[in-house]
Amino acid sequence: MQTHKISEIIEKIKVLEAELEEEIQKRREEFFCDMGKKIAFKEHVLAEHRKNIENIFRYIANTPILNIITAPVIYSVIFPALLLDLFVTVYQAICFPVYKIAKVKRDDYIIIDRHNLQYLNVIEKLNCMYCSYFNGLLGYITEVAARTEQYWCPIKHAQKMNSIHSKYQNFFDYGDSVSFRADLKSLRNELEKEK
């Protein structure tokens, strides 16, 4: 498991993340009033948005030809993404209750709201919806996989990873068989308490 020093560092990171979120929220308030799921922009911001929309014909004319040619390839990935979304959602619905793992809320990851921005033309809105869905889906799948890994094999890798998921820091050190055997059940039990 974690040493005291690692736990301290993780706590410092959490404090910094909270501070960062507070600053991001202040920045949001400069542009809009958050009304839950519905967002209302301040009037001067809406005026700026309308002024900064790019005509769709000008947008296409200014788009590099290779971007236009490769667009169908990019958009073709939507089909396997939708299938993966379905399979992961069904997997979670069937398996997580059996293992007593709290389900991942898909809506916390797949957030599609950029199409409401008035300064985006139709193509830009479509592109933003696609990217929001795809990146949100990857976040959702990563969290489902992280909870699954915490249940079945919560052991850190011997080699350094470029990126780690939300559960990784709680995993057992590579080679620490004593902690693994002693604390596996309690680490699994933590998954029930997830929100």
pLDDT digits (tens, 9 = 90+) for 138-150: 999 999 999 999 9
C-alpha–C-alpha distance, residues 149 and 88, integer Å: 14
Q: How confident is the model at residue 122 (pLDDT cuts 50, 70, 90)?
A: very high
Q: CA angle at residue 132 from 127 to 134, to 5 degrees?
A: 95
Least confident interval from 27-36, 49-58, 91-100, 146-155: 27-36
C-alpha–C-alpha distance, residues 124 and 150, integer Å: 38
Mean pLDDT of the 64-92 span: 97
DSSP E strands, 28-96: 32-35, 38-41
Close Cβ partners of 139 (under 8 Å, ≥ 6 residues apart): 109, 110
pLDDT digits (tens, 9 = 90+) for 95-112: 999 999 999 999 999 999
- State CA 110 to chain mean position distance: 7
Q: Is the confidence at residue 38, as pLDDT, over 80? A: no
Query: For residue 183, which amino acid is it?
Result: D
The SS3 call for residue 56 is helix
Query: Distances from the Cα of 74 to the Cαs of 37, 45, 79, 95, 126, in angstroms?
Result: 29, 32, 11, 32, 12
C-alpha–C-alpha distance, residues 173 and 156, integer Å: 5
CB environment 133-162: b (16+ within 10 A), e (fewer) = bbebbebbbbbbebbbebbeebbbeeeeee
pLDDT digits (tens, 9 = 90+) for 62-77: 999 999 999 999 999 9
Instruction: Record the pTM.
Output: 0.82
